[in-house]
Structures are given as C-alpha cells and as structure tokens.
Structure 1
Amino acid sequence: MISRRSLLRATTGIAAAAPLSLAVPSAALADPAAAGASGASVPATLSATRGAVPTGVAIAPKLPLTHLSVNGTASVRLRTESGWQPWRTTPGCSAAPDGRAAQPGMLIPAEGALDYEVRGEGVSVVEINTVDGPQRTVAAVQTRLPMNVPRQMCPQYLSRAAWGADESYRFNPDGTPKLDLKYFKVQTLTVHHSGEDVPVADPIAHIRGIYYNQAITQDFGDIGYQLLIDADGRVYEGAYSDPDAVPVFGPTPGPDGLPLAVNGAHVGGFNGGNVGICLLGNYMQAPPSAAALRSLKVVLARFAATAKLDPLATTEYVNPISGKKATLNTITTHQDWNRANPDAGATLCPGDKLYELLPGIRQDVAALAKKLPPITVPAGK
C-alpha cells in the first residue's frame, strides 16, 4: 500500500511553502505544558494551483487534500469513498483588506476527497494540504492567553508559532514585507464564523488552511482575523501584530494612552480600528459550543475593558484609512456591516444561530468587563 507521504514525494506540480511551518499537533493540546517543554514535529503547507477550472467536470486533485480554496461565485462538491457529497455554494465569510472589494469564495475542508467538481464560470481553485509537508520542530509554544485573567477563566491559547504560522507568507521574494503594519484605536469588535459546513477534525491544521488561503491565495499578506476560536474554546492568535507575547495590540499606545490594534482584513472596507474574532464552524443551523461561547465572551470583555468600549452601546464608526462610515453596535457581526454599508460584501456571517445570541452575549460581556481588569500590555512596547 502506498502511503500518502510516498504519494506526495512522487507527485509533480506541488509547492511547499518555505520556511517550514511551525505548529503543535492536536494530540499535544491535552498537555500544553509538556508540548511547550519538549517541542513538536510539525508540517509545512503544500499547495497546487489549478487556476480557472472547467465547469461540471470531475477533477482528480494533484495531492491528497486537506482543503480546497475556491475563488469566485460557484457551487462545489467533493467525492469521497462514500460517494459524491452535497453541493456547497459560495460565498462563505467574504472579506478583504481596506482598499479592496470583498470577493466571493470559500475554503472547504476536503480530507479524504478523491475528486471534486465545480459549477460556475471563471472559478479558480487552489488545492491545499496542511498536514503532510516536510517536518520541523518547534522548541516551545505559548499556551496561555496573556490577558491578565484569572487562570480558571483563561482560555487555552496558541500563538502564531504554536499553530504553525509560516511567517514567510508575510514577505515578498526580495524580503520586503507585503504589509505596512498599521495600528488604530479600537472602535468596534466584530464576530465572524468561518462558515465551513463539515466538521473540522483538526482545528490547528484548519487554521493553517485559513492562513494560507487568506495570506497567499487571496493575497491578503496575512490572516485577516485578529483572533480565532475553535469548538473546544481554544483561542488562536491571528494577524501578526509585533514580536511580543500579547496578540492584537501594537508596540506603542495612542495619544489617549490606550493600546492600538493592528489592522486586519476581515470586513471589506471597514477594518481600521475594527477587531475581528472568528469562531470556527458554520452557525446557520446550530449554535456554537458552550466552550466557544465562553471564550468569545472572555475575549470580548477583555477587549472592551482595554479599549474602554461599552459592550451595550452603538458606535459611529469612521475608518481611519478611508473615512468610510457606518453606525452599528459596538459588538457587531459581519452581516451587520453589510447592512450598514453594502461595500462590506454580502454575507450571512456569523450564521443565524450565532447571530440570534448576540443580544445576550453583549449583556454577558458588559457584566464581565466590569469584573475583570484590562489586558496587560508590556511596558515600553
């Protein structure tokens, strides 16, 4: 029997990102302290770019898939050992950096897919494998969110190094950064879902898939969300902010002494001063897990306390880059941005069953924000 790894070595047209990715495998999460002490062997991401694909034709992937990135307005289905699976339709959680229009597309978990079929004109596809690439060892990882929260309330946390962010994605071939990092006063907090409608067996590998899709395939230069949360309540550092251990916030405070958040790319045209938090999953038919909601509330409360935001208030948002405006809840969602301004891109994110929980989430966050201290940002940043 030919192993997946042997097949990969023999397959042509497959690219491995360099330098190699760093991450902690899911099994290590049961004992994060041990994982940090002993290190872990982790894979680089592999990809095969198809470009535009024919419509209505079964396509055999060039490499064993973990994900399929589909860009354009399309319906997609996968064939597994149990046969053809249901059709899925774009868009998912459409986003873009400031200055670019949000484009339809989706990232599909595709473990075990033997073939795929796309319906739609001008649709491009990138095949992705986040688990079978060459290995590298990381000596230590960060597993507690540095948010000055009592330990019993602090979610388990994976920094970029811990989940395997390949920092080369943020740079051009000549070594210059793709992004000019910008930091802004926090005005709003936006809740997203990632939108996949199949179970995510390995959330760390899925985060790497989202990162590759947004940073490379969509050319954002980084992952668009500032933080992500999985079904077990683990929190993942998203967009790179600076070298220190505190995610999201930049190296210097604003004129009012409050920390400034790194700019992301999670709502088309409305990113500056808008912190995006993405829950993994599709919440159109069912709500998030209790663990994911608990972590979401703690994170929102910490940001609200740190940025001195009222979780129950309405914000007159002004994009510090473009001057675009929107009036909406201070703790809001992706689809609310679209209602306030169609430039944000059509979306049902974060799903009906999460959206209907937002009034109660805001109430709980308001109560938590009064009890817990702000995030501690290192002196001299």
Structure 2
Amino acid sequence: MVEKMSEIDFVKKLVFKIAEVGHQRKIMDSPSLADIEPFRHFFDRNGNLKYDELNSMDGAWTRREILARFLLLSVVLDQGPDIPGVRDFLKNVTNALYRKEIRIFHRSLDFFRELNISIDEILDKHNSVKKLRAKIWAKLNNSNPSKYNLFFAQSPRGIISINQVLDYGIHRWGVPLCVPLLLEKDLGEKESTQPFVEYLESFESSEIMSKELKNHERYGLGSAIGNKACHLFVKWYIHTFSLSSKKEDGWSKWSFEVPFDSNAGRVLFRAGFFTSFADLEDYEDWEVIQKGKGKGKTHYIRVTNIRGKKVQKDIEDEKIIENYNNVVLNHLKIRKKPPTKLEIQQIPNTILLNSKFGIGDFDDGLIYIGTKFCFNHEKPDCKNCPLKDLCLSKNKKPELIKNYRT
C-alpha cells in the first residue's frame, strides 16, 4: 500500500551526514598507491599524485594506464576477507615481482612467462601477511587465526576460501591482468599508449562501464569480479584517484550507483534509510529480509536483493523527482525515458546531485561507519557513531539492531 512519506527530510539529512563523514575519509580507506615501488615517482614528496603528469609515458604506457591496470587487479583482490591484509599482500607481491623485473602492469605477459616465480611470490607473501594479520583478523571477526586465508573463489554460496594457489593465482590475478593484455593484442596495427583507459572511457557513463567490466562479451571479468567490486573500481577511478579524463555528466561524481554490500546495508537498514522507502513486509516479500536465517536465528538481510527494487511510498518532493530523472537519464544513462517509479539504490545519487558531495563520499562514509561503529552484532558502538543523533535504531527502534544481521 502506498502511503505518504514524511521522512524525506530525515533521509536527506542522513544521506548528507554519511557523505560528509566519507568526504573526510577519501584517501584514508583506499589503496596506498605511493607505497608501490614502481609508482613512487608518480607522486610528490608529500605523497600526492602528480596529476599534471598522468599522461606522461612510463615505458610503453601512460601513468594513467598503468595505475588503472593496478586498480583493476586491486579491486578483484579486495573482495577477499581482510582488506588491510589484502592490500599489504598485493603491495608486497608487486614490489617483489618488480624487483625481479617481472613488470606485470607494464608487461602483463610477464606474470605468465614467469608463472613459477609469480606463484612462489604469492605463496611467500601470503604467509608473511598471515603472520602479521591472522590474530588481528581473528579478534575482529570472532574467529580462529588458523582460518586466516586470502585465497578465495566464487561458489553458489558466494566467496569461499580455497587452498589451491594456482586456481587463485590464475583466476584472481591472471584474469584482470589479461584484460589489458587482450586489449593490447587487439590493437593490431593501431597505436595507443593507454588501451585499457580508452576501453573504460568508451562507454556512455561510468555506471555502464561498471556493468561491462563484468559482463562484456570479450573483455568482461565474469566470475572473477562481483557487482560491488565493479562499482568500487569506478569509485576509485573517478572519485578517489581522479583518473578519468572525461568531464561530461555520464562521468560525473553522481554517475555510478553505490554498491549495497553488507556494511552499507546494515548501516542504512539500522539508520532508517530503507524503511523510509518501503515497509519491512515489502523487504520480506523481496527476500531482502529472510526471517530466521541470520546468525543465532536472527533475521538475515540479503542486501544485494535490493538491487532494482522500487520505492513503495509516495514522494511528493518535486525536486527529488526532478533530480532523479536527471540522474538516471543524464548521469547514470541507464534509461532513455523518465521512469515511472524511483529505485531505492539510486536515491543517494538523487539527493546528493549538484552538491559538493559525490556518491564516492557517500560510499566512503558507509564503509567507515559500518566497519568502525555499526558492527554486525547486537552491541555496535552507537555512542561514538557519527549517525547517533539521526539513527532510527538507536533512538527509536533498537529491535532493528537486536533482531537483524547482514
């Protein structure tokens, strides 16, 4: 049943607060490119990327091209269970390979030509990171240090740990390294100093590009990458590191959707964002809420099922409707005509449109709040959370914390 929404001002305040928090975290929660030895001359003494030199050549390719290649591999590996560990692992393997002149981002084929060395370094650096991170990870996740493992694969149940380094190395390292390699081969007689960048920026919008990263018939990564990781790549490319050379609306800071992962879903559910646009019964019908299927017989929130779901409550704010049409037609470019209903996942873009905040700020805020305060158990750190004055579950409905898990 459609009902009048009185919460739209609350939602605006909530979205802007999350984006404000994220705006302060822009680089802090992202890969430290300056720590990668072959990239160090891309940065000044203060660790700032030399943007005026992004088109400078570094071997056969521009710096922009090489950084984009690194970010693609990084985002695939970032799907693993311990992000700080994953990033140290990638940094250490990359630096070790480059010291041996295995220049995997300058010459993708090097990884395969010297596959024995590549695999040895992956194993060695994984063991080193495990020694440093296993106890920390176990404490944070209420687990056993012996279970620490960054090798993973896709299964019908989602991401699972595996022990086979060759499977992991070829699928998680090899596939993203093959994308620029295939693009190089496909150049034929043509010349290009940044074939991967040109491929990325050939799409009408960054949102379309995010989908093609996974689904493109020839260059798509398929099961090597998830929807969240595709959008994370776009965020890094446009928002975090500002590598995009395109300036039109389709490549603006509102031109891609925020990925609703477990952290984002938990924060937005507890804070009251989701229930401002549909009732709990709607989310149950959509199987977003799966009753009794969470840990300890709590209700499980399958956040990915929100994708494509429409707002069920009446929005009478004409500016919101106007902004929404602008977002989907001109920024996301996923429709040719104004839609009749708004999608929940695109509301943050709509609210932030033409403000100083982009969707990357919003996502950074969700990641920070979800990992530092809004823990996935019944005792999150509400008293220190930046959303404490707005949060629905803290101030009115504690059952949204007690009875639900992501």
Note whether the superposition's TM-score is higher than 0.5: no
Higher share in strand: 1
Task: Give me the TM-score of the superposition, normalised by structure 2.
Answer: 0.24
Which is higher, the Rg of structure 1 or of structure 2? 2
Task: Give me the TM-score of the superposition, normalised by structure 1.
Answer: 0.25
Q: Which has the higher contact order (CA 8 A, sep 6+)?
A: 2
